[in-house]
Homo-oligomer: A and B are copies of this chain.
Amino acid sequence: VIGEFAAIAAIAAKLPGPPDAGQVWIGDDTAVLPIPTGHRFLFAADSMVAGVHADLALTGIDDLGWKALAAAVSDIAAMGGDPGWAVVTVACPPGTDLGRLYEGLADSAGVHHCPIVGGDLSEAPVLVVTVAVTGSCDGLPVLRSGARAGDDVWVTRPLGAAAAGLRAYRSAATGTDPSLLSAHARPVAELMAGAAARRAGATAMIDISDGLTADLGHLADASHVGIALDTVPVAEGASFDDALGGGEDYALAFTAPDSALVATEFAGFPEPIRMGSCTAIDGELLFEGRPLTRKGWEHTW
């Protein structure tokens, strides 16, 4: 049996500490940080629940930690913002491998340049990991609501790898492309692509977390446009259905009026793929001219 305060001390010892004496990260009532800089401040949080968002019989508790932080940072990326800091709260049953959970969280925080500066640990019958993140934006963040009829619709990379990876974990297939497995277990938020899209004049942007059709539906609804897709890029090893509704890809979809500027701003990054364009018909989603059903992840009560 380990007490809460000993557990927090063990976690704190594994995480990087503040860069200077003017900051306090873990160990006080709140983290003490410099005032963020930039034009706008960003703030969001996501929870991951064991057995709902992740099956711990398939992937590790470290992967769950990784993904919880990546999903929160992906919301910053979807605004074209830069990550600031994360606070992590963990509610979990006795016997939870906190060391391994925080290894995944810490690795993800390192890759995403979003240090964990505080949080909370408590008892619960099921593991729930919540990551709140701050961010900032040098210019105006890209909302979901700014798309206009005629804008091109882009996605930062082919879709469906996360869903195909989950299927491979479930079937315990050997010889699966490791990039599919890591797309499911260790997704990486597209911070650089989000910032490039913002600089390229993106009018609206969203990360593909629920599924392409569901997320494009959110963007279309918020912008009061329709979206007509000519093509949906499918990741190697994934099916068309994986790409349309699989979710958890954490690629970014965005709309922009000037394709030449998109090409310029994405020079040096993987080239985004043009999927179609925005129409004037509020909320209508089409693929090759036919209605597209909104599919994807949605909790129900």
Whether, in the assembled complex, A14 has its beta carbon less than 8 Å from a beta carbon of chain B, the answer is: no
B46 touching A40, Cβ below 8 Å:
no
Most buried by B among A42, A130, A135: A130
Contact of A124 among B88, B126, B145 (CB under 8 A): B126
Interface core residue of A7, A32, A43, A207 (most chain B CB under 10 Å): A43
Within 8 A of B (CB), among A7-31: 7, 22, 24, 27-31
Q: Is the CB of B44 within 8 A of A95?
A: no
Most chain-B Cβ atoms within 10 A of its Cβ — which of A44, A136, A143?
A: A44
Q: Which residue of B lies closest to A221 (CB)?
A: B5
| Chain B residues in 8 Å Cβ range of A42 | 30-33
Q: Which residues of B contact A206 (CB under 8 A)?
A: 29
Q: How large is the interface on A (under 10, 10 to 19, 20 to 34, 35 or more residues)?
A: 35 or more
A299 at the interface (CB under 8 A from B): yes
Contacts of A36 in B (CB 8 A): 35-36, 41
- Inter-chain contact B33/A35, CB cutoff 8 Å: no
Q: Looking at the complex, which of A113-121, A155-163, A273-281 is the stretch in contact with chain B?
A: A113-121
User: Quick check: which of A74-82, A173-181, A234-242 contacts chain B, the rest being far away?
Assistant: A74-82
Q: Are B45 and A132 within 8 A (Cβ)?
A: yes
- Per-residue contact bits, chain A 94-135, to B (CB 8 Å; 1 contact, 0 not): 111010000000000000000001111111111010101011
A172: interface (CB < 8 Å):
no
- Show 13 residue pairs from A and B whose CB-CB distance is below 8 angstroms, ordered by the A residue: A2-B300, A28-B222, A29-B205, A30-B42, A31-B44, A35-B37, A43-B87, A45-B130, A89-B130, A92-B301, A94-B301, A121-B299, A124-B128
